[in-house]
Amino acid sequence: MQIITRVKNNLSDTMVMSGRCMRHAFRSMDTLITVIATPIFMMLMFVYVFGGAIDTGSINYINFVVPGIVIMCIATGTAYSAMRLNNDMTKGIIDRFRSMPIAKSSILAAHVLTSVVFNTFSVVVVMLSAILMGFRTQAGITEWLVVIGILLLFTLALTWISMMFGLLANSMEGAVGYSYLFLILIFLSSAFVPIKSMHGIVRSFAEYQPMTPIIESIRSLLTGVPAGNSALISVLWCSGMLITSYIAAMQIYKHKLA
């Protein structure tokens, strides 16, 4: 009986904390503009300004660029997850929570859940705008399920990385720092231009860094362009990032809340 009560309280605490976190995410104009409006704006720029000059072979530029835009959307989205967690850990409210008899895991769990929900929401909005701008796909249910799977795995991996940085950093600026690394990786991948148009060293870097297989596998699933075993490589990269950052973040969290 005691265990059941504990599990019930645990779940209830996590739900209450998540409710709080979600309000933080969805009530922040800044977050909504940066995470959702910026990728849409980027998409407009690339499709209507630069896209014409980029040779993407047999597929439309809009169809080419959507996977990269979605990945970028998730990278900036999780930066806000890091910021929210960092804010909680460095402000007075954490002392209030810690001095209350609540499930310790509930705070972090709420941030992770919020990050996944918010990023799913923003990806859907960005995808819908892409469709309005002419994005089309022949993907069937299986392909869509794999795309959703990869995107979820990527979101989870970046969420846990963001949790790690959010916990470690002393300030908000420090907490979001990692996201710039991801933005650079995205620009140095096949997100906006085909890799074969890149210069020597940059090209080999682009080929072997994780963003390229993730973007190419999604592109391949949505447009039918072959991309070898990039789906498998993406899953391996994402799982690796997820497991490492999960372990690290949990250790830091336990240490901080001890």
Partner 1 sequence: MIQMNTAISVSGLEKSYKNLKVLKGINFTVKQGSIFALLGSNGSGKTTMIKILTTLLKPDKGSAQICDFDVVRQSDQVRGKISLTGQSAAVDEILTGRENLRMIGKLRHLPDANNKTDELLEQFDLLDAADRRVATYSGGMRRKLDLAMSLIGNPSVVFLDEPTTGLDPQGRIAMWGIIKDFSHSGVTVFLTTQYLEEADELADQIAILNEGKIVAEGTATELKKLIPHGYIELGFRDEKELQLAHDLLDEYNASLNQENQTLSIATDGSIKQMTNILNRLENGDIPVAVFSQKLPTLEDVFLTIIGENKGKGHDT
**Cβ(222)–Cβ(136) below 8 Å:** no
Cα gap 154→213, rounded to integer Å: 12
Using the minimum distance from each CB to partner 1, give the nearer residue, 110 or 157.
110
Three-state secondary-structure class, residue 228: coil
State the nearest-atom distance from the C-beta of 158 to partner 1, in Å: 23
Using the minimum distance from each CB to partner 1, give the nearer residue, 88 or 216.
88
Which residues are within 8 A (CB) of 179 and not within 5 positions of it... i.e. 6 or more apart?
Answer: 75, 76, 78, 79, 82, 162
State the nearest-atom distance from the C-beta of 94 to partner 1, in Å: 8
State the nearest-atom distance from the C-beta of 125 to partner 1, in Å: 21
Using the minimum distance from each CB to partner 1, give the nearer residue, 5 or 58.
5
What percentage of the chain's residues is helix, strand, coil (to nearest 5)?
80, 0, 20
Using the minimum distance from each CB to partner 1, give the nearer residue, 24 or 219.
24
User: What is the sign of the dihedral through the CA atoms of 36, 42, 47 and 51?
Assistant: negative
State the nearest-atom distance from the C-beta of 256 to partner 1, in Å: 11
Using the minimum distance from each CB to partner 1, give the nearer residue, 108 or 150.
108
Q: Which residues bind partner 1 (CB under 8 A)?
A: 9, 12-13, 16-17, 19-20, 23-24, 27-28, 91-93, 95-102
Q: Which of 153, 121, 127 is nearest to 67 (CA)?
A: 127
